[in-house]
Copies of this chain bind each other. A is one copy, B any other.
Amino acid sequence: MNLGFIGLGNMGHAIAANLLKAGYELTVWNRTPERAQALVEAGARRAQTPAEAADVDVVFTMLGDDAAVSAVTFGDDGILAARAKPLHVSMSTISTDLAERLTQAHADAGGRYISAPVFGRPDAAAAAKLFVVTAGAEADLAVCRPLFDAVGQRHFVVGDQPAQANIVKLCGNFLIMSAIEGMAEAMTLAAKNGIDRSALLEVLTSTLFGAPVYHTYGGILAEERFRPAGFAAPLGLKDMRLVGQAAEAARVPLPLLGVVRDHLLSAIAREGEDIDWSGIGAVIAKDAGL
């Protein structure tokens, strides 16, 4: 099975490296070609265009936003222009609207498409410990199973419509924001009553809230470590916008989304574009006069 990989940022590079390590023939493309150098030295083939990287059995895309995925797919020399009609596996956090357009466009072109966004940071990607959330036709998922095993610790099938995997990924990011919001509000109430934020956090994580999301972001909030950003507030805002678009399309009120979205806007307006998305904690504290 020949593979292509488009988008060699921190996440994409690590995933591509693991596919190569697993023994697959791999063709790679990145907008800034230098990012491909290490992979080429490790045995990957360098493509000159996305279309060339897509002249394979399965082509992955791992890019920053809808615009980037659209460009490498629909653009001149894009994936849809490849001679092969590959299975396109999109790992990016994109809108459900784009996922649906990709599904349709590939079907129209005689190709295939599945969504396979991931949970995990670059270190998890490097360690092949990602969680992969997938949706699409069973036959396409079957093709990808060994590939997902090569890059992640587990994969989930959540439906047969590709966009459903994107919904689940967006729900995950929405819930991370929600957990941060809840903790930040509670910590502010505690702090204004003279209680150490870390003391509250220890009670929480020792009892009902002993999950990574509370450990990780609780620690950041308790110590107010909002810079440098692990995931910058404008990126969080972008994801919340995608959640909002999906909610509007499905006619689903999400009151909590309004709250976290406003706090992200306030964090960016008051603290700057470079603050972490957990920086809503700074806004929540200041709103209480801290």
Contact = CB atoms under 8 A, between A and B. Distances in A.
A179 interface: yes
Copies of this chain present in the complex amount to 4
A286 B256 CA distance: 16
Interface centre among A133, A188, A210, A250 (most CB of B within 10 A): A250
Interface residues of A, number: 80
A231 interface: no
Interface stretch (A31-39, A42-50, A73-81, A158-166): A158-166
A108 interface: no
Interface string A206-250: 111111111010000000000000000000010001011011101
A193 B254 CA distance: 15
A285 to B, nearest CB: 9
A194 to B, nearest CB: 6
A248 B241 contact: yes
Contacts of A288: 250-253, 265-266, 269
A203 interface: yes
A189 to B, nearest CB: 5
Interface stretch (A54-62, A64-72, A137-145, A169-177): A169-177
Interface string A174-209: 111011011101101110111110011011101111
Contacts of A161: 194
A21 interface: no
A23 interface: no
A199 B178 CA distance: 20
A172 B288 CA distance: 19
A156 B195 CA distance: 12
A36 to B, nearest CB: 30
Contacts of A254: 185, 189, 262
**For the complex of A and B, 5 pairs with smallest distance between CB atoms:** A258-B258, A269-B289, A211-B211, A253-B262, A178-B182
